[in-house]
Structure 1
Amino acid sequence: MAIFIFIIIHWYASLFFQSVFHHRYAAHNLFTMSKFWERIFYIGCFITQGSSYISAYTYGLMHRLHHAHTDKTEDPHSPHNDPNPFIMMWTTRNNYFNLHIGKTEAAEKYKKNLPDWEKFDKIAHNYITRFCWIGLYILIYSLLATAWWQWLFLPATIIMGSLQGMAVNWWAHKFGYENYKLNNTSKNILPFDFLFWGEAYHNNHHKHPQKPNNAAQWFEWDMGFQTMLFLQKLKIIKIRHQ
């Protein structure tokens, strides 16, 4: 039971930082915050994503390219360019690293107002650190797992951030419902998004990418936006266009 509590906490904590910090802050600049709090969020990403930690700068850049080229060959993570979700995950990984190391160039207009903490990323974003995290996860599983089959969840823990990105980007361009007819295949995954911090409303988001609240229908509920409202009440962030 303890290992499942750990997995659930890890899932929601990691996804919170990917949804609110990487996606809404880095990629879309939907809110502002001080440099101090920006670095606190960087550290939060590192702690929760662990071995799957990614750069907020590169994530934001890649996601902007996704919006600019949705479902086209230039889209860095489109399920329509790959035959299955695992190959798409590998393609996304390669496109991400090519952007991160500068092998793939992107127009300057996509680089505006991206957060960047280069010194921190040099520590957090390397294979030595990733292997240290994997060792920590193995230790956690050895302490909490009570049956051999529970170890089958270890790979998902190791690639948690990438797995979450794949789940949203594959499913939300393959299956679901549409509130808006667009020139792309984006869909809403769940009518009530209890699983993806509001990222399940992908069709809504592609219709209004600069809207902080991804929910559009009365039955839709964006947990990420509600969290943003709470952070704003605490004066940690300021939402741009509420």
Structure 2
Amino acid sequence: MAEADRFWQLADDLQEKTVSHAKELFSYAETANPDDLLSLLIQYRFFTIYYIPDIAILVARMRDGQLRSFLADILTDELGNGDPAKAHPRLYDDFLKSIGAPLDLLDDLAVKDNIEMLQGIRGKLIDPRTSTAYGVGLRGMGGECVCQVYLSRFHEHIVKNPFIRQRRADVDWTFWDLHVGEHDIEHRLKTRQLIDEEIVSRGATDIVELEQGYRESMASWSAFWSNVFASVKSRNVQRVSVNRAVDWRGTAAGALA
């Protein structure tokens, strides 16, 4: 098997393993009581808060090419294409508000272990010793390719929850319409195509670094949701304050102070 074929087979296997790992979480989302469901859903907002600056850092470090330009387009899209009211973290908060989340309290609910992990990822993206191939595996593939598949599966279970079904017409679905429909499917496929053309095609060294970044991304993604699940089951989980004003060097405003 050619090195490129081996890599994509590995990527597909890791993606499937990561999604399968969340089977218990997905099932729980179908039956959770309203408070636990909100606790579960609130944590994803912190991933979106970190994701945007991470992509900006990655774009700044990459060589010119179609992949860099495409990731820049994704960054613009995440920021609302010039309209801050349509930025994806804002849209997610709109969704949370529509199902009863207390927006004035959300910043204080971040699971500490997840914020430490997200800050560690940020530090690696900034570190000049980290290759851009590694960064693309860590955030380009992990954030754009797998996130869409995972969110689509998660959404399938969320909409079956009785609490959501009863008020479905009143829920602001804008965020989910973008992330489970053709919009994000196209992003996922295009990202994969350009990674294949501009990184995998360069040969063994870049493939190894891309794979290392992707492996870490998948491990972090699984750990993120495991921590979220644990935080719903236990009220003793440590939490920190995080808002949208995240310092690009890796320190969330108010976090871990």
TM-score, normalising length: structure 1: 0.33
Structure showing greater relative contact order (alpha-carbon pairs closer than 8 Å, 6 or more residues apart): 2
Higher helix share: 2
